Amino acid sequence: MVCLAFGLFIGPWGCARNPVSGRPEAVLTSESAEIEQGNRLAQVIESEMGLVQNPGLEAYLSQLGQRLANHSPRANITYQFRLADIPEANAFALPGGRIYVSRGLLPLLNSEDELAAVLGHEIGHVAARHSVRRQTASVPLAPLRIAAALGGATASIVSPRLGQLVAGLGQLPGAFAMAAYSRDQEREADRLGQQIAAAAGFDPMALSVFTDTLAREDALNKKPERGHSFLVSHPPSPERSVSAEEYAQGLTIQTELPAPLDRKAFLRHFDGIVLGQPALEGVFVDDRFLHPELGIGFSFPPNWETSNTDSSVSARSPDGSADLIVELVAKSSSALEAAEEFAGTVKLKSGPHALRVGQLDAAEASVVVRIRGENSQLALTWFAYNDLVYRFTGIAPVSEFAKVRADFEKSARSFHLLSEAERSDIFEKKLRVVESRKSENLAELGQRSGNQWSLAQTALANGVQEIEQLPPDWPVKIAHEEPYPGPRATLSRTP
């Protein structure tokens, strides 16, 4: 009767039996369509986030994931496990069985039981078909959400990654597949994950421990915008850790399977992973921006606030009135042609005209546009190098433009090819595992090992207290700053 009544609203779709509850439920998507939807979502997500390509770590994650998936109540689909190249701590599942763990989650893990708890939780979301059930529940709002998704092109002006993801997802059958889970769905996934972990030989209590770690990490960093973090896609609640602890006490761990890895063997899998933003995406050294993969560098005005995102590098003046944005805008060997193409779409105030900056061909132009109710002037400079065209855009209100014109020009004229000396200035942070010495505490170990994390961050990452004396020969995770060795094949992005 429930499905019959719901069919009046959902048209040709019908009932399916939930793999977990066994009860019939109304759904919008068949299992084959769900899997296809997940495959299409994966193309969008992997092109945006990229995948960490570390064969040993990939194999380990897949082996562990499959051990857990063997105990899923929904065993008739193929589960796949991937490492997403994002610095935030997160894990998420797509419809149909694709499960991702982020690079940023790994430094917070302190046992194989904890990783099993995370993977089990995501398997639980897939097993219970939570994404499909969310879509069904969203039917009355579908026109509004599709309209919002079609606004992706506009959103990309503010946040390119968000805009591209929204635009891409809006073209899929499940435009809202990445929406936040409900509290009841999170609770169900927690319990399913704990059941799966215990059946696979892992301690289900680890979910409670890791939930506490994530909450501590969130409080320590105090980030108002958490981007791709686990706590955004998996809304926390005060009782969640307590509920997980209580539920774990009623589960029996399967002891006939291999025991979980000890701490040293477990952490060995993560030794050497990059922390934060990889150097291959460019780094700031004082006011300079150096990009080792593209082989270019440039400078921003001193004391301007800088930012490096997937689509641009930018700087904002201290008073917030002016911005400098550097973007890769075309595949071409001619800066002037790119400028002329731009001039075909916008009425310029002056230019474009060609010039030479150091070893590079360039072009310049100027335009006045209306931004937030006032006229702003844009100073545009294009550079061509290695069949790619870069554009510097300086933006300021017309009334303020004269004050920053020299800053814009100096920054644009600083664009150059990287020297070997500059390459030696490029470092990145990596996770390293070092063993404690007798009677040593975290502060002493950090000083000895060159740890770049704060004492609080080190304690959090290792699941200990800041003043705790460490057992001898105990593996400790630290952040170590190391010279960037040059191009490396550890990241894959779909063009």
Considering the domain architecture, whether residues 204 and 217 belong to the same structural domain is answered as yes
Q: Is the peptide bond before 352 cis (omega within 30 degrees of 0)?
A: yes
The answer on pLDDT for 27 being more than 70 is no
Domain endpoint, select from 399, 423, 447 = 423
Any domain includes 159:
no
Residue 163 backbone phi and psi in degrees, to 5: -65, -40
Instruction: Supply the pLDDT for residue 132.
Output: 63
Q: What is the pLDDT of residues 81-117, one digit of tens each?
A: 999 998 888 898 888 899 999 999 999 999 999 999 9
The answer on pLDDT for 290 being more than 90 is yes
Q: Quote the tokens at residue 121.
A: 């939780």
Considering the domain architecture, whether residues 437 and 417 belong to the same structural domain is answered as no
Considering the domain architecture, whether residues 317 and 365 belong to the same structural domain is answered as yes
Using CA atoms, how far apart are residues 112 and 115, in angstroms rounded to an integer? 5
Q: What is the pLDDT of residues 411-450, one digit of tens each?
A: 999 999 999 999 999 999 999 999 999 999 999 999 999 9
Any domain includes 162:
no
Mean pLDDT rounded to a whole number for the chain: 81
Considering the domain architecture, whether residues 241 and 207 belong to the same structural domain is answered as yes
Instruction: Supply the pLDDT for residue 9.
Output: 35
Sign (positive or negative) of CA dihedral 136, 137, 138, 141? positive
DSSP code for 469: B
Considering the domain architecture, whether residues 386 and 300 belong to the same structural domain is answered as yes
Considering the domain architecture, whether residues 186 and 81 belong to the same structural domain is answered as yes
How many domains are contained in the chain? 3
Between 244 and 233, name the one with better pLDDT: 244
Considering the domain architecture, whether residues 35 and 128 belong to the same structural domain is answered as yes
Task: Name 327's bridge partners.
Answer: 312, 391
Longest pairwise C-alpha distance within the chain: 77
Residue 390 backbone phi and psi in degrees, to 5: -110, 145
Any domain includes 269:
no
* Host domain of residue 389: 284-423
Q: How many helices (H) and strands (E) does the chain have?
A: 18, 20
The answer on pLDDT for 226 being more than 70 is no
Q: Which among 189, 283, 226, 204 has a CA at the least distance from the CA of 104?
A: 226
Using CA atoms, how far apart are residues 161 and 220, in angstroms rounded to an integer? 26
Using CA atoms, how far apart are residues 304 and 307, in angstroms rounded to an integer? 10
Q: What is the pLDDT of residues 162-215, one digit of tens each?
A: 233 323 333 333 333 344 567 888 889 999 999 999 999 999 999 999 988 988
The answer on pLDDT for 131 being more than 90 is no
Q: Decide: helix, strand or coil at residue 435.
A: strand
Helices (H), 249-308: 263-268
Instruction: Supply the pLDDT for residue 17.
Output: 54
Q: What is the pLDDT of residues 333-358, one digit of tens each?
A: 999 999 999 988 888 888 899 999 98
Q: Which among 420, 424, 118 has a CA at the least distance from the CA of 285?
A: 424
Q: Which among 158, 227, 171 has a CA at the least distance from the CA of 44?
A: 171
Burial class from Cβ neighbours inside 10 Å (0-12, 13-18, 19+) for residue 261 reads: middle
Domain endpoint, select from 391, 423, 455 = 423
Percent of the chain with pLDDT over 90: 57
Averaged over 458-473, what is the pLDDT?
94
Averaged over 295-312, what is the pLDDT?
90
Considering the domain architecture, whether residues 221 and 296 belong to the same structural domain is answered as no
Q: What is the CATH number of the domain that holds 250?
A: 3.30.2010.10
